Amino acid sequence: MDNKNKQRVVITGMGIVCPLGHDIATMWDNILNCRSGMSQTTIFDATTYPTKFCSEVKNFDFAKYTKNPELHQNGNRHSKFAIGAVAGACKQAKIEVESENPNDGVNRRRMGIYLGAGEGPVDSDIFFNAIIKGWDESTSTMDWNKWADFAYSKMQAQMELEQEPNMPAAHISIYTGARGPVRSCLTACAASTQAVGEAFKVLQSGQADVMIAGGAHSMIHPLGIMGFNRLTALSTRNDSPETASRPFTASRDGFVIGEGAAIVILETLESAKKRGVEILAEVIGYGSSSDAFRVTDMHEEARGAVTAIEAALKDANVSYKDIDYISTHGTSTSENDSIETLAIKTVFKEEAKNTPVSSIKSMMGHLIGAAGAAELISCVLAIRDNVLPPTINYNDPDPELDLDYVPNKPRKADINIAMKESFGFGGQNNVVIIKRYEN
Amino acid sequence: MTVAITGLGAATCLGLSYKDLWAGLCGGKCGISRITAFDPESFECQIAGQVPAFSIRDYVPKSIRKTTKLMSRDIEIAIIAANEAFKDSGLKTKAFDEQNITINPKRSAIILGANSISCDLLEIAPSIAKGAVDGKFDIRKWGTDSIETVTPLWLLKYLPNMLACHIGIIHDLQGPSNTITCAEAAGHLAICEAFHIILRGDADVALAGGGESKVNPIVHMRQALLKRATKEHNNNPEQACRPFDADAKGGVFGEAAGCVVLENLEIAKNRNAKIYASVAGIGQSCSINANYEFLEADGKGIQYAIESAIESAKIKPEQIDLIVPHGTGIYAEDVAEAAGIHKALGSIASQIPVFPTKSMVSNTGSAAGAVDVIAACCAINEGVIPAAKNCDNVNKNCKLNIVKEQIKKRINYALCTGYTYGGQTAAIILKNDNG
C-alpha cells in the first residue's frame, strides 16, 4: 500500500482498570507519586507459595459501569475489568455504550475490537478436586468415570465458557455494539501491544473507522502463579512487596505479577475530525517480530527485539534520534532487563544513553497480556504532560546496565515521540510508536 | 498486489496430510470415532475426531529434538501441518536444508489460530494428589509439598503462542508472529490477518492457519455442558455430525491442525510455484447474542462478514461457485448461519453448492477455518466439489444447496465462512488463478 492511501490513526479515548486505580487520572497520579500497587496476595491463599504477593486490582465493582449487569456477571475477572476500561475509554472518545440507537457518529459495522486477552482464571477448586477424586496413587492411573462424575456435578456451563480467551472481546462487543473486525490475540506478555499495533493497521488500511484496542488479563490464580514460580520468573521478595519490582537494578530477582485491563480507542483522523472529538496522540508505527530462537530464552544478541524496534521505526518513518522516551518492557527479571538494554543500545547507538527509558512495572507490576496497553497509555500521558514516568526502587544500579532509567522520581522533559516495547515468552516482540498530535 | 496460496498442510482425523484430508472428504470418509485418549464412558459425548498416531520426533530436526518434551498435543499436530505446508510450497526453510534456504527469515511471518491449551491432567495429577488432605485439595499443602514436584517448564507447554513459537524456531520465521485466540473462528481470522500482512508489505511469506486438540476431558466436557455437543450418536459416530440436516442433534468436537503458505502471487509465479488459489477478499464481524455460546438467530454477524468479503473481493454473489460453511451440526446454528448467508448473497444463495466438512473431520476449534480453506483450495485446484455427508434430509429452514453428489466443474470463486461461540465471525473469498 502506498503512503498516500494510508489513513492517519489517532487515539481519542483511554480507560484502565489496574492495581494503581480504576481510572486514568488515579493511575497517573499514583505513578507520578511513585506508589506501588503490590501487597500480599488475597485472591487465593498463597501463604505457602514461593511468592506470596502480587499486584491486585482491589475493590472493583463492574456493575456500576453497566445497565445490564446480568449480561456480564458470569464474566471472569478480566472480562469485568475490560468492561470498566472500555467504559472509561468510550466516555472520553464520546462513543455511546449499551445504546440501541447510538448517536455518536460511529457506524457500528465500521467499529471493531482488537484485544490481547488471556484465558479466564481456572476454577481451581473444581479443577484440583476432580483430579483428586479420579487419581489412584497406588496405580498412578486416572479413573475418568470418577473424574467425570465429580466434574459434571460441579462444573457450570457458563463459567466454563468464560474461561475461553475470546470471551473478553465477546463482552465488549455486546457492551458497545461493535460489528466491525473483531480479533483477540494472545502472544504472552506482548499481546496487548500487538493488539494495538494490529488495530492500527486495520484502521490504516481502511478496514474500519474505529477500533477498541488493548488488553485484559489475570493470571493471579493457583495454577498461574505456580507456573511462573516453577519458571523462577517471579520475585520472591516476600518481606517487601513494594520494593520487589526493581527493574534494571543489580538486585532484581524476577517480576511481580499484576492484573487488569487497559483500552485505547483508535480512530482514523478523518473519523475523529468528523466527530469533533479530542485527539490525545497519533499512532505512527508498529513492528512485530519473533526471535525464532528458543522457547525458554531470549536471543542473546536481542535479535528479535532489535528487528521489531527497527521495523517500528521504519514504519513510523522516524529515526531512533527522534524518540524522546522509551516505555520499556522492563520486567525486573535478570534476562529481560539485560537483553532489552542491549537491544536499545544496538538500535540507538550513540543516542542510547541520552534517551530516557523507564519501567512503570516497578509500580504497577506486570499485567501480562494487558501490560503493553497499560504502558502505552502512560506514553500518551507522558506526551500530554511532558513528564517522564519513573522507574522506582532503582537504588542499586546494575553496573552492566547503564541507560537513563529515569530513576525513582518523575522528570520533566519535552516528549513528542514515545515508543512502547513489549517482549513475550517464546520470543514475541512488539513495538508501537506514538507521537504528539499535530494537524 | 495479489496474495496467493502456494502450500497446504494438514493433520486431521482423516490422516497426517492434506492429501488424506482431501481424499477422505472426496470419498465420504468419516474420521469421527469413539474417544481413545481417555475412557469416555461417563461423558455425555463419547466420540471425537482424533488425529492418528504419529511420532513427533519424525517432524523435528535432530538439533532441537529435545524441545519435543515441551510440546503439548496442540503444538505437535500444528508442527506436522506446518512442515507439510512448507514442503508442499517448494520453499526451502531451515528445517529442510540449512545450506539452501529460499525464504528470507526476517521477511517470513507466522499467524496461527490457537486456544488456551488444555492441561494434560495425567501429567499434573501426581503433584495435585500430593496436595490433598483427607481426599480434598488443600492449597497450603499443595504450596508446601507439591508445587516443587511439577516439572519446571510446565507453563511453557500451555501458552497458546507456543504453536507459533515452536514452528517459528523449526523453520526460522523471524518476521511478524501472532496467535489469534478466537476459538472456532481463529483459523479463518489468522488467515485474514496474514493476508493483510503480505498486502501491506510487512512480510514476503506467511504461514497461516491454526491447530487445536479438543480431545481433552475438560474441553470436551465443556462443549457438552454448553449443549454444543451431540449425545445421541455415541454408538454411531459416523452418523453423528449432521450439518444442515433436519436431524442435526449437535456438534462433534475433535483435533486438527491446518496450515497454508501465503505469498505475493507475482513472486510465486516467478518461482514456478503451484498456485492453489489467491485470496480475493476477506470480511470480519461479530455475532451479538446474550447467549454467548451460540450464533445469534438472524446470522447478522455472518451476513456482515460475507458482505465485507464480497466488497473487498470486488465481485458479485453470483460469481461464487462454492460455499464451505462453518456448519457445526448444531441445529439452531445451522439455521442461523444459513440465514446470514441468504441475507448476504440474496436470491442466488439457495443455488450455490454448499459443502460442509465437519460431518467428516469434526469441529476442530481453532483449526476448523484452516481445514475448510484447505478443502476449498483443493476443490478449486481440482475442479471438484465432494458430496456432503450426513445431510440426507436438508433442513428446510436452511434452504441451501447442500451438495448431494460430487460435482465436477471449474470453480472461479469459493467462499469460506466461520464463526464461534463468543461471537467473532469471518469470511474468506478464494479465487481460482489458473487459466
Sequential DSSP letters for B88-155: HHT---TTT-TTS--S-GGGEEEEEE--PPPP-HHHHHHHHHHTEETTEE-HHHIIIIIGGGS-TTGG
Do the chains contact at A230 and B151, CB–CB below 8 Å? Answer: yes
Of A215, A120, A202, A220, give the one whose Cα is nearest residue A172.
A215
Q: Which three cell numbers stand for residue B428?
A: 474468506
Judge if B32 and B105 occupy the same domain: yes
Length of chain A: 439
Please list every residue in chain A whose beta carbon sits closer than 8 Å to the beta carbon of residue B284: 112, 180-183, 207
- A188: contact with B, CB 8 A cutoff: yes
User: Are B142 and B288 within one domain?
Assistant: no
Query: Mind giving me the DSSP string for A353-384?
Result: GGS-EE-THHHH-B-GGGHHHHHHHHHHHHHH
How many domains are there within chain A?
2
Q: Which three cell numbers stand for residue A368?
A: 501480562
Tell me: the pLDDT tens digits for A318-360?
A: 999 999 999 999 999 999 999 999 999 999 999 999 999 999 9
Same domain, B345 and B388: yes
How big, in percent rounded to 5, are the helix, strand and coil portions of chain B? 40, 20, 40
Give the HSE-up count for residue B225: Cα atoms under 13 Å, Cβ half-sphere: 20
What's A119's DSSP letter? P
Above 90 in pLDDT, residue A4? no
> Which residue does chain A place closest to B40, by CA atoms?
A144
The H-assigned helical ranges of A209-281 are 222-230, 269-275
- pLDDT at residue A113 tops 70: yes
CA distance B105 to B383: 34
Residue A112 and residue B169: Cβ atoms within 8 Å? no
**Distance, CA of B29 to CA of B22 (rounded, Å):** 10
* Per-residue model confidence (pLDDT) at position B397: 96
How large is the C-alpha radius of gyration of chain B? 21
**How confident is the model over B315-346, as pLDDT tens digits?**
999 999 999 999 999 999 999 999 999 999 99
* Residue B421 contacts residue B300 (beta carbons within 8 Å): no
Query: Using only C-alpha atoms, what is the Rg of chain A?
Result: 21
The sign one gets for the Cα dihedral A423, A425, A427, A430 is negative
Chain A residue numbers with beta carbons less than 8 Å from the beta carbon of B288 are: 173-174, 177, 179
CA proximity to A374, closest of A47, A65, A30: A30
How far from chain centre, in Å, is Cα A49? 25
Is A173 in the same domain as A40?
A: yes
What is the percentage of chain A residues whose pLDDT exceeds 70? 99
Q: Do B198 and B332 belong together in one domain?
A: yes
- Strand, helix or coil at A421? strand
CATH number, domain containing residue A220 = 3.40.47.10
Q: Is the dihedral of CA A77, A83, A84, A89 positive or negative?
A: positive
Is residue A4 included in any domain, yes or no?
A: no
**Which pLDDT tens digit goes with each residue over A124-147?**
889 999 999 999 999 999 999 999
| A190 found inside a domain | yes
Q: Same domain, yes or no, for A231 and A375?
A: yes
B37 and B137 inside one domain? no
In a domain, A2, yes or no: no
Supply the DSSP symbol for B225: H
Nearest to A259 by CA among A364, A167, A336, A378: A364
> Does residue B181 share a domain with residue B135?
no
Q: Which residues contact A223 (CB under 8 A, 6 or more apart)?
A: A122, A124, A127, B119
Answer yes or no: do B64 and B174 share one domain: yes
CA of A241, closest CA in chain B: separation in Å? 19
A297-332 exposure pattern, b = at least 16 Cβ within 10 A, e = fewer: ebbeebbbbbbbbbbbbebbebebeebbbbbbbbbb
Interface of A with B in 23-82 (CB under 8 A): 44-50, 71
Identity of the amino acid at B391: C
Mean pLDDT of chain B: 97
Cβ proximity of A75 and A261 under 8 Å: no
Same domain, B265 and B135: no
| Nearest in space to B198 (alpha carbons), one of B144, B267, B250, B117 | B267
B279 beta partners: B3, B430
Q: Tell me, yes or no, if A92 comes closer than 8 A to chain B by beta carbon.
A: no
Q: Identify the residue whose cell numbers are 473424574.
A: A147
Q: Pick from A158, A184, A206: which residue ends a domain?
A: A158
Q: How near does any CA of chain A get to the CA of B347, in Å?
A: 23
Same structural domain for residues A344 and A200?
yes
Query: Which of B141, B177, B205 is the best residue to mutate to test the A interface, defined by the most A CB atoms within 10 Å of its own CB?
Result: B177
Cα distances (angstroms) measured from residue B71 to each of A167, B76, B142, B167: 26, 6, 25, 11
Q: How far is residue B251's CA from residue B288's CA, in Å, rounded to a whole number?
A: 21
Domain assignment of residue A146, given as a range: 124-158
SS3 A405: coil
Contact pairs from chain A to chain B, CB under 8 Å: 288
> Are β-strands A325-327 and A357-358 bridged in parallel, bridged antiparallel, or unpaired?
parallel
Q: A171 CB contacts (<8 Å, ≥6 apart)?
A: A71, A72, A75, A79, A82, A83
pLDDT on residue A154: 95
pTM for the structure as a whole:
0.98
Nearest to A161 among B110, B176, B226 (CB): B226
CA distance A359 to A366: 10
Provide the domain limits for residue B219: 3-118+158-431
- Identify whether residues A153 and A176 lie together within a single domain: no
Q: A49–B143: do the CB atoms touch at under 8 Å?
A: yes
In a domain, A3, yes or no: no
Q: How far A406 CA sits from the closest chain B CA (Å)?
A: 31
- What distances in angstroms separate CA B145 from CA A51, A52, A139, B359, one per listed residue? 15, 16, 20, 47
Structural domain includes residue A254: yes
Together in a domain, A85 and A142:
no
Residues A298 and A196 in one domain: yes
Q: Which residues of A are catalytic?
A: 189, 329, 366
Residue B30 φ then ψ, to 5°: -105, 130
**SS3 for A74?**
coil
Asked whether residue A130 falls in the same domain as residue A241, the answer is no
Distance CA A136, CA A152 (A): 19
Question: Which residues, given as ranges, of chain B have pLDDT below 70?
Answer: 435
Q: Is any Cβ of chain A less than 8 angstroms from the Cβ of B351?
A: no
* pLDDT recorded at residue A3: 59
Tell me the mean pLDDT in the region A283-295.
Answer: 97
The whole-angstrom distance between A384's CA and the closest CA on chain B is 30
Cell representation of residue B165: 513459537
Domain boundary among B129, B154, B179: B154
Does residue A424 belong to any structural domain of this protein? yes
Inside any domain, residue A251? yes
Of B156, B183, B288, the CB nearest to A174: B288
Q: At residue B414, what are phi and psi to the nearest 5 degrees?
A: -125, 140
| Residues of chain A contacting residue B121, judged by C-beta atoms under 8 Å apart | 131, 142, 147
In this model, does residue A121 exceed pLDDT 90? Answer: no
Are residues A111 and A68 part of one domain? yes
Closest C-alpha among B316, B341, B351 to residue B427: B341
Query: Residue B324's closest CA among B207, B184, B242, B427?
Result: B427
Helix axes A222-230, A124-134, angle to 10 degrees: 80
SS3 B82: helix
Which residue, B421, B186, B184, is CA-closest to B291?
A: B421
Q: Which residues of B touch A295 (CB under 8 A)?
A: 67, 70, 156, 162, 165-166, 169
Element (H, E) at A136: strand A135-136
Among B365, B159, B368, B116, which residue's Cα sits nearest to residue A231? B159
Which uninterrupted H or E stretch holds B20? helix B18-26
Whether residue B181 is found in the same domain as residue B54: yes
Here the CATH number for the domain that contains residue B211 is 3.40.47.10
pLDDT of the residue at B435: 67
Question: How many structural domains comprise chain B?
Answer: 2
> Tell me, what's the ipTM?
0.98
Residues B203 and B344 both lie in one domain: yes
Residues B109 and B215 in one domain: yes
Contact call for B39 and A144, based on CB within 8 A: yes
A245: in domain: yes
- Pair B247, B317 in one domain: yes
A172: pLDDT strictly greater than 90: yes
User: Residue B281 has which C-alpha cell?
Assistant: 477478499
Q: Compute the C-alpha angle B341/B345/B350, nearest 5°.
A: 70
